[in-house]
């Protein structure tokens, strides 16, 4: 007991004797008020945490002249450097054509290895598009030759029923698809004309409307 009494001297959290404790009505009232106040604070904070608010503000963008760096590496084996240009469009309607800053062009050999540094062209040569076939209306006068997948069956059914085929995935609003359409139809007509001859190829030509 003496040893235990000696350790009590080191107690930093000493208890108040019960003889000095007295319960009063004022103390009980303060305790009830404090409990209610803490309960109200708890529900107020909980409501603020669960509630959602929408804050709408309009801020003027002061960084309109700042440019975003975009890294790209494109290889075009059959296109001369003089015909290559980079045009930039953004959602604000800004249109910058023939970008040359920080853009390098290299002439490649047949293996894709860099040979001659072409620098940055100041002017881009115009590319002429020769019309090799008549318009699509003229080609359709004697029928449509390219099979339209999606009208008579699914794409998977077409692949299962045709061993070899060429398929053109197109969109009517695409300018490049519009330019390819006469060539594609003439290609289908040419293969169809070979049927029944010794030059017949067991290949079908089809097209898929990508936005239908």
Asked about 174 being catalytic, the answer comes back as: yes
Where is 160: in which H helix or E strand?
Answer: helix 155-161
Where is 89: in which H helix or E strand?
Answer: strand 88-89
> What token pair was written down for 126?
């115009």
Q: Of the residues 33, 174, 177, 210, which is catalytic?
A: 174
Burial profile 152-175: b = 16 or more Cβ within 10 angstroms, e = fewer: eeeeeebeeeeeeeebbebeeeee
Alpha-helical (H) ranges within 51-145 are 136-139
CB 138 within 8 A of CB 178: no
Q: Which residues are known catalytic residues?
A: 174
């Amino acid at each position: 007991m003496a040893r235990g009494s000696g350790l009590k001297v080191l107690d930093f959290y000493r208890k108040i004797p019960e003889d000095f404790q007295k319960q009063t009505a004022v103390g009980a009232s303060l305790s009830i008020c404090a409990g209610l106040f803490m309960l109200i604070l708890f529900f107020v904070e909980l409501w603020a945490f669960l509630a959602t608010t929408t804050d709408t503000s309009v801020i003027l963008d002061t960084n309109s002249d700042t440019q975003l760096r975009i890294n790209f590496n494109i290889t075009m084996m059959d296109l001369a450097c003089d015909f290559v240009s980079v045009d930039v469009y953004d959602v604000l309607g800004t249109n910058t054509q023939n970008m040359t800053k920080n853009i390098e062009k290299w002439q490649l050999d047949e293996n894709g290895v860099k040979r001659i540094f072409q620098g940055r062209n100041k002017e881009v040569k115009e590319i002429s598009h020769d019309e090799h076939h008549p318009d699509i209306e003229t080609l359709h006068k004697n029928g449509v030759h390219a099979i339209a997948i999606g009208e008579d069956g699914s794409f998977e059914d077409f692949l299962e029923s045709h061993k070899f085929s060429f398929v053109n995935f197109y969109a009517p609003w695409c300018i490049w698809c519009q330019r390819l359409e006469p060539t594609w139809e003439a290609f289908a007509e040419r293969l169809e004309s070979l049927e029944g001859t010794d030059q017949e190829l067991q290949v079908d030509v089809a097209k898929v409307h990508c936005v239908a």
